[in-house]
Amino acid sequence: MLGKNIIIGIAGGTGSGKTSVAKALVKDLHLNGAVIIEQDWYYKDLSHLQQDERLKWNFDHPDSVEFDLLIRDLKAMSEGRTVKVPQYNYVTHSRAKETLTVKPQKVVIVEGILVLYEPVLRDLLDIKLFVDTPADIRFIRRIKRDIYERGRAIDNVINQYMKTVRPMHEIFVEPSKRYADVIIPEGGKNKVAVDLLRTKISSLIKH
């Protein structure tokens, strides 16, 4: 049976580079196992709403995420159980019928804009990280991702950013920085910070 695993939380604004940090930490760690869990997979299913109503949904508010399910899945993995995590369709704004089977791993990295905001989730984390990236860079990354990866129209992306993304960042995301053990400027490109964190993780695994 898997012993106590290490749960690492990575928060930061949209487009800050959370995923690149998570992937950089996993790379070359030579661990028994590591997995990345995305907070966005746990968006609440909006299939009961009309498409135009889904587009008006505030995906940057804590109420948009099914944190209870995310917390249950993390606890289950800590207990050595395999979980079936949800997958989200960002085009239709609904939860996919297919799930992703995740076996318990020694290192679990959970990343998302609100990972450090939710108190119960925060209490599960052994290491809390916040990726701090300038707003203009995050905005450009958000536009590119939503247009090229999620098939969104640029006017829709900009409108959503101004109406919900930016104000929710200021209300919920940015203040959660104070809970971080480590603040990482420049995301995954900060090689020094990533290398230091890898060393820390490896040390925790050995104990």
Burial 152-174 (b: 16+ CB within 10 A, else e): beeeebbebbeebbbebbeebbe
Does pLDDT of 32 surpass 80? Answer: no
pTM assigned to the model: 0.89
The answer to whether 34 and 102 have CB atoms below 8 angstroms apart is no
Does pLDDT of 1 surpass 50? Answer: no
**C-alpha atoms less than 13 angstroms from C-alpha of 95 in its C-beta half-sphere:** 16
Mean pLDDT of the chain: 88
Pairing of strands 83-89, 94-102: antiparallel
First-residue to last-residue Cα distance in the chain: 17
pLDDT, one tens digit per residue, over 102-149 is 998 889 999 999 999 999 999 999 999 999 988 888 888 888 888 887
Question: Looking at residue 28, what is its pLDDT?
Answer: 62
Burial class (CB in 10 A: 0-12, 13-18, 19+), 53: exposed
Question: Looking at residue 29, what is its pLDDT?
Answer: 61
pLDDT, one tens digit per residue, over 64-105 is 999 999 999 999 999 999 999 999 987 788 888 999 999 988
Question: Which pair of structure tokens corresponds to residue 164?
Answer: 């919900």
Please count the other Cβ atoms lying within 10 Å of the Cβ belonging to residue 46: 20
Of the ranges 7-11, 43-47, 53-57, which one carries the lowest mean pLDDT score? 53-57
Chain center to CA of 126: 16
Taking the C-alpha atoms of residue 129 and residue 180, their distance in angstroms, rounded to an integer, is 5
Q: Could you tell me the sign of the dihedral formed by the alpha carbons of 11, 127, 64, 103, in that order?
A: positive
- What residue spans define the domains of the chain? 6-194
Candidate CATH numbers 3.40.50.300, 3.40.190.100, 3.90.320.10, 3.40.190.150; the one for domain 6-194: 3.40.50.300
